[in-house]
Amino acid sequence: MEAHSTARIAFQGELGAYSHQACAETRPDMDVLPCATFEDVIDAVVSGRAEQAMLPVENTTYGRVADIHRLLPGSGLHIIDEAFVRVHINMLAVPGTKLEEVKRAHSHLVLLPQCARFLRTHGIEGVNAGDNAKAAREVAEAGDRSTVALASELAGAIYGLDVLARNIEDEDTNTTRFLVMARAANMARRGNEGMMTSFVFRVRNIPAALYKAMGGFATNGVNMTKLESYMVGGAFTATQFYADIEGHPDDPGVARALEELSYFTSELKVLGTYPADARRQIKRQMQEQQTT
């Protein structure tokens, strides 16, 4: 009898990357498949080498991951889940290293500014690395106590490094939103925290097209949580919009809003309908408390 193989989820980066952390937290029953690029992640699912893909789309400190918005519409995959992952940045060192020995910290260009206060306080030079987990692996291989990596605790555990300083990020709310994608959509699911729908569209070449296109969401009581524009095809005139809304296309208000949107768009493509992450509600409640 042939043994059942464990499903795999693909992510961009090396073992120990924050995308790997997202997989471990949200898909602990799946094997992971590290990939060099976002394109490779998508191809792994399309080709059947993995069942799902874990892709970062935005970070509360860094902003959106532009490459993902460009790749999603043509990927042929469907969003089936979202995951909010708290990004803790840790100083990983060769075992036995003392903080006063550290002269350089290697990490991705995006992470270094997020730890600027800690590095400045301790007189440590930030050195750009292509990948956080790769930096951790290289620090472990070099065995140099004067050089550390800024990465996840998971990377430290994988490469045998000590956590010399934990959670050194300047902002204590640093969170990345990930999308989980698969070959087939699952429109029948309903989440306890509500549903989200993501789509891309291009407006028709008529006056006030975007204003008119958005009007249907307001009049039908549909909350739009994200609307971003980006150029496609290398032309300033070819603008595509990416949007997230609360609700399911089968909900009457959402159905009416999408129907109205179609009147003012030349292209409209739903990328996925999926349960809202519980941390989305927690984040909203915190924002509401701050404004009251």
The tens place of each residue's pLDDT in the chain, 292 residues long, gives: 344 457 999 999 999 999 999 999 999 999 999 999 999 999 999 999 999 999 999 888 777 787 787 888 889 999 999 999 998 999 999 999 999 999 999 998 888 988 999 999 999 999 998 889 999 999 999 999 999 999 999 999 999 999 999 999 988 888 899 999 999 988 777 777 789 999 999 888 778 888 888 999 999 999 999 998 877 665 555 578 999 999 999 999 999 999 999 988 989 999 999 999 988 865 555 445 445 5
Domains in the chain, please, with CATH?
8-86+174-182 (3.40.190.10), 90-165 (3.40.190.10), 195-291 (3.30.70.260)
What are residue 143's phi and psi, to 5 degrees?
65, 25
Q: State pLDDT tens for residues 59-102.
A: 887 777 877 878 888 899 999 999 999 989 999 999 999 999 99
Residue 107 one-letter amino acid: S
Pairing between strand 125-129 and 104-108?
Answer: parallel
The DSSP code for 135 is: H
Is 175 part of the annotated catalytic residue set? no
CA angle 126, 131, 132 (to 5 degrees): 65
Q: CA 73: distance to chain centroid?
A: 16
Structure-block tokens of residue 276: 């809202």
Over the Cα atoms of the chain, what is R_g? Answer: 21
Q: State pLDDT tens for residues 105-121.
A: 999 888 898 899 999 99
Query: Looking at 147, 176, 265, 273, which residue is catalytic?
Result: 176
Query: Looking at 11, 38, 118, 178, which residue is catalytic?
Result: 178
Is 38 part of the annotated catalytic residue set? no
Q: CA 114: distance to chain centroid?
A: 17
How far is Cα 165 from Cα 168, in angstroms, rounded to an integer?
A: 7
Partners of 196 in beta bridges:
246, 274
Residues in the chain: 292
Give the CB-side neighbour count of residue 85, counting CA atoms within 13 A: 28
